Amino acid sequence: MALKVLLPVALRHLTGNQDEVDLNGKDVGEVMNELVNRFPELKTHLFNENGQIRNFVNIYRNDEDVRYLDNDQTSVKEGDIISIVPSIAGGSLESINDTYSNMELSKNEIERYSRHLIMPEVGMEGQKRLKATKILLIGTGGLGAPLGLYLAAAGVGTLGLVDFDVVDFSNLQRQIIHSTADVGRPKLESAQEKILAINPNVKVETYNAALRSDNALDIIKDYDVVIDGTDNFPTRYLVNDACVLLDKPNVYGSIFRFEGQASVFYAKEGPCYRCLYPEPPPPGLVPSCAEGGVLGILPGIIGLIQATEGIKLALGKGQSLVGRLVLYDALAMKFRELKLRKNPKCVVCGENPTVTQLIDYEQFCGVTPELGPNVDLSEDSGEITPAELKSVLDSGEKLTILDVREPHEYEISSLSNSILIPLGQLPSRMNELNRQDNIVVHCKMGGRSAKAVELMKQAGFNQVKNLTGGINRWAEEVDPSLPRY
């Protein structure tokens, strides 16, 4: 049977830089034997002295891990793809190898971590490795909350926290590191307090800032592992590129409504985020959690998958999620796994990278930076603030208010006399509106309505404005009796 074998980056120097090889065989064993016959230097990397596949090498037949199958179950057919995916074996994170042997555990720490110390996979060495490990959490929100709590409890020595937000009442449904009494406090302060209450041995470093191109490399460079708990595309690409440039593993997680994803992007060993998603979706196409919602429990599951990967990287144990994307569907209660390949043409981790320093990620993702409160809104800016809208309404001027949210959001809060046409229906229902009218469009926070204004202008509506900050800002600044959500 003729089939292809895909080789990982780490082994290509032994195959004359070939990333795939055409081979023949009737089962996986035969194919592997033919592979090492052709490239004898691969043998010691793939097989141990007993002729068995080394336990840090995964062999996939198409998407199936065949390492543990009996020989009679590993037959191959024409066109199959065999992938060799080495996991990051112990010792890959040199920064931890260099430092853990200097660590000592106090009597108190030995008691605290006794359930780890009696596990052969952790033991004294593993616990010292955890103590030597520095993990950076980008964000202390939905994903960062369980991450921070569990990594601290497990004894990770240094936790860096990056956040600039304050705890909002609507965060409490999922961000379990913050309590009701913390509403209004900086998230960093609240998270640091909880982490130290669980484990005072942890060193917490806080960065009270948004991660940006001009501070990311400086913040990330001292950490062994980066865990991405952000909720927006510019920061995701920024974290990815910074990690590729600095050779750091980036433990990825994302959540939306009932679904989550997790992987480990580590360009040294496998693909990066850009190999998976070379370009961000256009703004507005994929709603954020703030716009689309998220099941409160979901970040717990995905965040703890990330925490598990962080701990495994620190210990140098197990098979990491490098090269694999885990998809979780809470409604169906199903986990699926996809195999990811490194894209040789990837602009940041490929063979000829064009992104060799950090770029402007807001611009890359087509996001206009949010307008601050002091921005001058001139007549033709296409925006109207809640205060300005209120004075127009108070003056009795005739105005149509168009709400482009979903009906279940309209039930939470709405402006009086507004017309509801969800954004998705707007193109087909625009004839319900009058082009001569003065129209103000709003949604929850201003994102979808900006899209609606654009669509309407293209359709010939000239007197249409976007309510800056949406109904939530209206509730904050004009009508506090309305709930914010």
Site residues, Zn ion (CB under 5 A): 272, 274-275, 346, 349
CA angle 35, 39, 44 (to 5 degrees): 90
Q: What does the DSSP 8-state code read for residue 330?
A: T
CA 359 centroid distance within chain: 19
Out of 275, 289, 346, 365, which one is annotated catalytic? 289
The residue (of 178 and 274) whose beta carbon lies closer to Zn ion is 274
**Residue 365 CB, nearest approach to Zn ion (Å):** 17
Helices and strands of the chain, counted as H and E runs: 19, 18
Q: Minimal distance in Å, beta carbon 267 to Zn ion?
A: 6
Residues paired with residue 465 on neighbouring β-strands, in sequence order: 440
Single-letter residue type at 470: G
Annotated catalytic residue, options 272, 275, 365, 443: 443
Q: 171 or 240: whose CB is closer to Zn ion?
A: 240
Query: Using CB atoms, what's the residue nearest to Zn ion?
Result: 346
Give the span between the Cα atoms of 11 and 60, in whole angstroms.
16
What is the spatial distance between Cα 342 and Cα 163, in angstroms, rounded to a whole number?
Answer: 31
Contact 365, 283 (CB under 8 A): yes
Minimum CB separation of residue 272 from Zn ion in Å reads: 3
Strands 57-61, 383-384: pairing is unpaired
Nearest to Zn ion of 217, 430 (CB atom): 217
Shorter beta-carbon distance to Zn ion: residue 261 or 463: 261
Q: Least distance to Zn ion from the beta carbon of 248, Å?
A: 14
Q: From the CB of 311, what's the least distance to Zn ion, in Å?
A: 25
Query: What residue type is 362 in one-letter code?
Result: E
Q: How far is the CB of 131 from Zn ion (least distance, A)?
A: 32
Judge whether 229 and 144 are in contact, CB under 8 Å.
yes
> 281-319: b or e for each residue (b if 16 or more CB lie within 10 Å)?
eeebeeeebbbebbbeebbbbbbbbbbbbbbbbbbbbbb
d(CA 238, CA 234): 6
Instruction: Please say which residue, 133 or 250, places its beta carbon nearer to Zn ion.
Output: 250
Active site residue 349: no
> By C-alpha distance, which of 340, 313, 350, 346 is closest to 85?
340
Which of 272/421 has CB closer to Zn ion?
272
Q: Go through the chain and tell me how many residues it has.
A: 485
Phi, psi of 445 (to 5 degrees): -130, 0
Closest by CA to 86, choosing from 357, 268, 213, 248, is 268
Q: What minimum distance in Å lies between the beta carbon of 271 and Zn ion? A: 6
Considering the complex, state which of residue 163 and residue 228 has its C-beta at the smaller distance from Zn ion.
228
Strand partners, 259: 256, 329
Return the number of other C-beta atoms located less than 10 Å from residue 237's C-beta. 22
β-bridge partners, 206: 161
Measured from the CB atom, the residue of 131 and 274 that comes closer to Zn ion is: 274
State the minimum distance, in angstroms, from the CB of residue 344 to Zn ion: 9
Phi and psi angles of residue 402, each rounded to the nearest 5 degrees, phi first: -105, 125
Active-site residue set: 289, 443
